[in-house]
Amino acid sequence: MQGLMMNRPMRVNDILTFAAEVHGDSEVVSVTVEGGTHRTTYRDIEKRTRKLANALIKLGVTTGDRVATLAWNGYRHLELYYGIAGIGAVCHTINPRLSAEQMIYIVNHAEDKVIFVDLTFVPILNALKDHFPKDLIYVAMTDRAHMPETDIPNLLCYEDLMDAETADFDWPDFDENTACGLCYTSGTTGNPKGALYSHRSTVLHAMMGVISLQTCLRPGKRILPVVPLFHVNAWGLPYAAPLSGASLVFPGAALDGPSVHKLMEDEQVFSAWGVPTVWMGLLGEIKAKGGKPSAFGEVIIGGSAAPRPMIEAFENMDVSVCHAWGMTEMSPIGTVGVLNLEQDALPQDQRIDLKAKQGRRVFGVDLKIVDEDGNRMPHDGEAQGELYVRGNAVVSGYFKNEEASKSSVDAEGWFGTGDVAKIEPSGMLTITDRAKDLIKSGGEWISSIDVENMAMGHEGVANCAVIAIPDPKWDERPLLIVVPAEGAGQDAPSILDHLSKNLAKWQLPDEVVFVDELPLTATGKVSKLTLRQRHNDGTLSA
């Protein structure tokens, strides 16, 4: 028997309509590329989004069309999220840090109809325009006074488009499984693959976020997404924040430690979200200034493993760390490191040990680990296997890519994450490594994350990465690559001595290489692929 309830479709624009009414005064603050700070509210954004919908329709955008953005975190980018999705089109966020080749592939594969671009990235489009579809429409996300000099023909001006429209627009109804967003994974091997989010999955994901992260996702709290809107929808914040009434503070292009510190102080940011590499800069500035931004109470760290010493540094200054795990294909939230009351009452050292794990699943995400033959392994905190997921906001395949779609799910319909993990009976997840980053030495596995975590605990190490290098006797051996801390020398014996306190002899790197900086991926994570390529013949030079 079926229930007798209304079957209203879930649409992302209902989030903004709700926010405009219920949390209408909550602010959206943006550092702009034109200079200065822009302030608005969810009420005004919703109104402008309806103007934008009218403008998009005039440009010929219809249901299912892909409309691309190449932009920093800012209010116009947020408007595009809703204006595009609200008319049934698909907001395709492009990562400006991708290579030219990948960007050309993505724009053509997505068959984008319009591309909206921040001033910073106009030169990129100008250089690539001959490789893009001939009828692609270009719009600069600025006002008339700041329109750039460029060879891009017929470059339109965002604010001109808006000025020509009224806010007289009713969001159309459509099936909740209609696509609303498209995000390509950075694709460390092969071409990038597109995760195509639906209105339903996105609304559910926003609700999953709000119920899981109640410390910051609530009215009166101010959140700084350092994680970009072009990286998996800034982990869902453009939806979860308005849904909850929390304010958003967008940093624009100013992502260095001093700028982030100042913005957080000026705007009284409570919670900041981003990958570990961005927090190194902020921690450095906090040290230099002798204090944290005054309202700073929480940091959400995800995208790659948060090193234990980083967690310790934040917790010691009363900034609560929430270590989260997920991926583009999961919209992205999978697990969050929110401790229960009992765990939170543990001594600091034990709390930090728990926070160094990746947390527990959010509602709407199921996890399983399997052995090499696909058999399920127990969630006993000991067994390690490949992590598979399923859920309401997990991809069932990739956009226009049958081959990758087929190989991404198992016979039971679960998605293979490519991560190796263990799960405790309480649901606590520990990511051992990405399968491709594990080091196989003499038939035994070494977790690069474990070794990195320990090395980061040495005072002479500012940042580090551990990769496998080929070895004739053991197959692979770990190589430790270190960025020395300021003023520290290159003291390999001392670092190895420190590691030997916690690692077995066979797990110890044979060599340490010192470098000035580590290469980063387009999403700001340490690029182990680049490091492996540098050292793939066993060479140890930086």
In the set 42, 325, 398, 415, which binds ligand ADP (CB under 6 A)? 325
Q: Which of 358, 448, 453, 463 binds ligand ADP (CB under 6 A)?
A: 358
Chosen residue from 93, 304, 384, 448 binding ligand ADP by CB under 6 A: 304
What whole-number distance in Å separates Cα of residue 229 and Cα of residue 278?
A: 15
User: Quick one: which of 52, 50, 49, 27 has its CA closest to 37?
Assistant: 27
Catalytic pick among 440, 444, 459, 506: 440
Q: How far is the CB of 435 from ligand ADP (least distance, A)?
A: 9
Q: Distance between CA atoms of 280 and 520, rounded to whole angstroms?
A: 14
State residue 372 phi and psi, 5-degree precision. Answer: -65, -25
Q: What one-character-per-residue DSSP string does 107-168 give?
A: HHHHT-SEEEE-GGGHHHHHHHGGGS-TT-EEEESS-GGGPPP-S-TT-EEHHHHHHT--S-
Instruction: Please list the helix, strand and coil fractions of the chain in percent, rounded to the nearest 5, in that order.
Output: 35, 25, 40
89 interacts with ligand ADP by CB under 6 A: no
Residue 360 binds to ligand ADP (criterion: CB under 6 A):
no
Taking CB under 6 A as the binding criterion, the range among 55-63, 118-126, 301-309, 314-322 that sits at the site for ligand ADP is 301-309
* Residue 32 found at the interface with ligand ADP (CB under 6 A): no
Determine if 94 is a binding residue for ligand ADP (CB under 6 A).
no
Residue 15 tokens, joined: 């989030």
Among the residues of 213-325, which ranges form H helices?
Answer: 232-235, 237-244, 257-266, 276-289, 308-316
Stretch that binds ligand ADP, among 112-120, 160-168, 174-182, 322-330 (CB under 6 A): 322-330
Comparing CB distances to ligand ADP, the nearer of 76 and 308 is 308
Q: What amino acid is encoded at 74 in this protein?
A: G
From the candidates 41, 368, 445, 476, give the one annotated as an active-site residue. 445
At 418, which helix (H) or strand (E)?
strand 415-423
Nearer to ligand ADP, 142 or 417 (CB): 417
**By three-state DSSP, how is residue 527 classified?**
coil
Tell me the one-letter amino acid at 401: N
Stretch that binds ligand ADP, among 139-147, 290-298, 327-335, 453-461 (CB under 6 A): 327-335
x/- mask, ligand ADP, residues 383-422, rule CB under 6 A, reads ----------------------------------xxx---
- β-bridge pairing 222-225 and 194-198: unpaired
185: annotated active-site residue: yes
Q: Is residue 431 close enough to count as binding ligand ADP by CB under 6 A?
A: yes
Q: Which listed residue (26, 49, 185, 430) binds ligand ADP by CB under 6 A?
A: 185
- Would you count residue 320 as binding ligand ADP (CB under 6 A)? no
Stretch that binds ligand ADP, among 48-56, 129-137, 143-151, 325-333 (CB under 6 A): 325-333
Contact between 434 and ligand ADP (CB under 6 A)? yes
Give yes or no for residue 336 binding ligand ADP (CB under 6 A).
no
Tell me if 484 sits within 8 A of 462, measured CB to CB.
Answer: yes
Q: Which of 303, 309, 391, 484 binds ligand ADP (CB under 6 A)?
A: 303
26 binds ligand ADP (CB under 6 A): no
Quote the DSSP letter at residue 524: S
Q: Return the number of the residue (13 or 521) whose C-beta is nearest ligand ADP.
A: 521
* Binding region for ligand ADP (CB under 6 A) out of 128-136, 320-328, 398-406, 488-496: 320-328
Cβ–Cβ < 8 Å for 451, 499: yes
**Alpha-carbon span 251 to 272, nearest angstrom:** 11
Question: DSSP characters for 327-352?
Answer: -GGGSSEEEE-PPPHHHHTS-HHHHH
Q: Vertex 348, ends 379 and 294: CA angle to 5°? A: 115
- Two tokens, residue 400: 């226009």
Helix segments in 171-275, DSSP class H: 199-212, 232-235, 237-244, 257-266
Closest-CA residue to 429 (of 371, 357, 369, 364)? 357
Give me the catalytic one of 185, 328, 417, 432: 185
What is the number of alpha carbons within 13 Å of residue 211 lying toward its C-beta? 9
Minimal CA–CA distance to 453: which of 283, 306, 245?
Answer: 306
Residue among 157 and 313 whose Cβ is closer to ligand ADP: 313
**87 or 333: whose CB is closer to ligand ADP?**
333
According to the binding rule CB under 6 A, does residue 525 interact with ligand ADP? yes
**Is the CB of 32 or the CB of 358 nearer to ligand ADP?**
358
Q: How many chain residues bind ligand ADP (CB under 6 A)?
A: 21
Mark whether 235 is an active-site residue: no
Six token digits for residue 16: 């903004």
Active site residue 111: no
- The type of residue at 48 is R
User: Cβ of 536: how many Cβ atoms within 10 Å?
Assistant: 12
Q: Kindly indicate which of the ranges 140-148, 237-245, 297-305, 340-348 contains the residues binding ligand ADP, using the contact rule CB under 6 A.
A: 297-305
447 near ligand ADP (CB under 6 A): no
327 contributes a contact to ligand ADP by CB under 6 A: yes
Query: Which residue from 142, 186, 198, 244 is in contact with ligand ADP, where contact means CB under 6 A?
Result: 186
The total of other beta-carbon atoms located within 10 Å of residue 295's CB is 14
By CB under 6 A, is residue 328 in contact with ligand ADP? Answer: yes
Could you give the CA distance from residue 502 to residue 437 in angstroms, rounded to a whole number? Answer: 20
Which listed range, 14-22, 281-289, 318-326, 505-513, lies at the site for ligand ADP (CB under 6 A)? Answer: 318-326
Among 323, 357, 360, 390, binds ligand ADP (CB under 6 A): 323
Q: Is 325 one of the catalytic residues?
A: no
Using CB under 6 A, list all residues that contact ligand ADP. 185-186, 302-305, 323-325, 327-328, 332, 358, 417-419, 431, 434, 521, 523, 525
Q: Among all residues, which ones are annotated catalytic? A: 185, 329, 440, 445
